[in-house]
Structure 1
C-alpha cells in the first residue's frame, strides 16, 4: 500500500513538518510519483518506527543520520551499523548501572528512616 505524506503522517504519528525535516536531513528518502509527490510504503513505516525507537534510546541525531546514510548504502554497511548500535547499547548499559546506584542509594536512606521509626516506636 502506498501513502501520501498526509496519510503517512497519520500512520506513523509524526507531523508533516517532521517528515519533511527527516527527508531534508536524509533520514528517510521517500519515492516520488510521476508528478513528483512523495510516496511512502510499508517499508517506510517500518523504517520510521525504527528511527523513533533509536530516538527513544537517546541515540544522538548525528548517529541516527549516520545510521540512515549507511542503511541507504546497502548491506555492505551492516558492520558499521552494528558499531553504531553497540555504541548506543553501551551508553544504555552505563545509564542502567548509574540508575541502579541511585536506586540503591535511595533504598539505603529509606532503610535508615525505617530503622529510626521502629526505634522511635519502641521507646
Structure 2
C-alpha cells in the first residue's frame, strides 16, 4: 500500500507505521508530543485511524528527523503550521535547518574526500 492508496476510512496505526517507516511506539510518541497535525480519528472500536493527510505528514516528520532537525524545532514548526499566516516563520525554520544540513553535508563530503585519498593511496601500494 502506498500513501495514495490510503482508504477513505484511514488505516490502522500498524499500517501507518509501515507506510511511514516508523514504529508504532514512535507514532504514539509523536502524537503525545503534539507533532501530529491533529490527533488521529478513532474507529468505533477505539483504534486510531490515520488518513492520507496524516500519513503524508508523517513523511514530513520522517524527513525532518532524518535530516537532524531536533524535536523542539519540529514542534515549533508544527505549532506554526496550525496557524494561518505563519508561512514566513515556517520558511525561516526550514531555511535555518537547510543551512545546518548543508554544513553537515559539507563536513561529510570533506571526510569522504579524505577516505577516497586513503583508498587511492592503498590501491597504489597494493598495485606496486
TM-score by length of 2: 0.72
- When residues 93 and 13 of structure 1 are mapped into structure 2, their CA distance, relative to the original with a 3 A threshold, is closer
95, 102, 111: which one pairs with 1:93? 102
* Paired position in structure 2 for 1:82: 91
How far off its partner does 1:110 sit? 4.4
23, 28, 31: which one pairs with 2:31? 23
1:46 aligns with 2:78: no
Structure 1 gaps of 5+ residues are: none
How far off its partner does 1:34 sit? 8.2
Question: What SS is found at the alignment partner of 2:61?
Answer: helix
- When residues 103 and 17 of structure 1 are mapped into structure 2, their CA distance, relative to the original with a 3 A threshold, is closer
Q: Across the two proteins, how many residue pairs are aligned to each other?
A: 118
Q: 1:23 & 1:30 partners in 2: Cα distance?
A: 7
Whose Rg is larger? 1
Bigger relative contact order, structure 1 or 2 (CA pairs below 8 A, ≥6 apart): 2
Give the alignment's Cα RMSD to 1 decimal.
2.8
- 1:82-115 Cα deviation digits (max 9, x unpaired): 1111111111111122122223333444455566
Structure 2 gaps of 5+ residues are: 1-7
How far off its partner does 1:6 sit? 4.1
Indicate the structure with greater helix content. 1
